């Protein structure tokens, strides 16, 4: 899973510098390519795509637009999930930013170490937000399931079979939609299977071998992607 990240700045050179530091970060593999947005373009992008995972927000954005703190208040209200990292050359804003929900406050010129620390915290927050229980409707009863309890999920026609310990929860749903609700420890290894890498003991030619001896198949098409996901997960 990769997270979207945007740099909002009225200075193109400063925005490029920030994007270069993101690309050089120890967290870089977790993010898609940074996009540069002018302050005036930001509302339209949010309206089109609905959500940004991380935003590096400059504060002084020129006379014709609200400053970065006001933009965050308008566009990224508390609870929206977007991780805002303020980036500014004006240290005097260090108190005012606390009127908005944000993850870090960085002072220009940016250092790689400081940005890495901010991105690491943003990723930690994003991951925590996707480890909340998911609701599963089983025979008319809604059950809350912690993602960490799920070893794998199988899809057959319009039904999902969610393996939780010795139980199998049977519900209606679409595998791709369920994948969006689960943390990045899950990988879609087959058009009909999602596996929780936390339960993987080894990776064989036949598929992912789970603790206890079960095997989740890996399609030929997805083998390179799954292999990378397994190696990255255990490296972390």
Tens-digit pLDDT profile for residues 34-50: 999 999 899 888 877 76
163-169 long-range contacts, CB within 8 A, separation 24+: 169/136, 169/138, 169/143, 169/145
What's the whole-number mean pLDDT along residues 206-225? 89
pLDDT at 130: 65
| 131, pLDDT greater than 70 | no
Query: What token pair was written down for 12?
Result: 């193109």
Among candidate residues 129, 154, 170, the one where a domain is terminated: 129
Task: Residue 210: name the closest of 219, 199, 225, 220 by CA.
Answer: 199
Bridge-based pairing state of the strands 215-217 and 104-107:
unpaired
For residue 38, the enclosing domain spans 5-129
Residue 83's closest CA among 101, 66, 63? 101
47 and 114: one domain?
A: yes
Q: Which residue has the higher pLDDT, 63 or 28?
A: 28
Q: Which of these three, 110, 129, 148, is where a domain ends?
A: 129
- Cα separation, 60 vs 94, in Å, equals 13
Mean pLDDT of the chain: 89
Which of 77-86, 104-113, 184-193 has maximum average pLDDT? 104-113
pTM for this prediction: 0.60
Percent pLDDT > 70 in the chain is: 97
pLDDT tens digits, one per residue of 157-173: 899 999 998 889 999 99
Do 67 and 87 reside in the same domain of the chain?
yes
Which single residue is written with the structure tokens 């399931």? 145
CATH code assigned at 74: 3.40.50.2300
């Amino acid at each position: 899973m990769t997270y979207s990240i945007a740099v909002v700045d009225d200075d193109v050179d400063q925005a490029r510098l920030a994007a270069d530091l993101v690309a050089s970060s120890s967290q870089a593999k977790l993010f898609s390519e940074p996009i540069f947005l002018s302050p005036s373009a930001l509302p339209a992008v949010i309206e089109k795509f609905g959500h940004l995972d991380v935003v590096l927000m400059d504060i002084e954005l020129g006379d014709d637009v609200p400053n970065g703190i006001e933009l965050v208040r308008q566009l990224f209200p508390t609870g929206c999930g977007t991780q805002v990292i303020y980036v500014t050359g004006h240290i005097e804003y260090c108190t005012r930013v606390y009127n908005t929900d944000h993850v870090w406050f960085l002072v220009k010129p940016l250092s790689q170490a400081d940005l890495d620390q901010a991105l690491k915290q943003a990723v930690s927050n994003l991951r925590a937000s996707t480890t909340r229980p998911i609701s599963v409707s089983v025979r008319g009863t809604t059950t809350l399931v912690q993602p960490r309890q799920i070893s794998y999920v199988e899809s057959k026609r319009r039904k999902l079979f969610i393996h939780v310990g010795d139980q199998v929860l049977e519900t209606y749903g679409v595998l791709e939609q369920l994948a969006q609700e689960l943390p990045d420890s899950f990988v879609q290894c087959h058009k009909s299977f999602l596996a929780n890498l936390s339960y993987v003991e080894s990776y064989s030619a036949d598929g992912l071998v789970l603790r206890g001896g079960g095997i989740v198949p890996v399609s030929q098409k997805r083998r390179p992607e799954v292999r990378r996901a397994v190696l990255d997960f255990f490296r972390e």
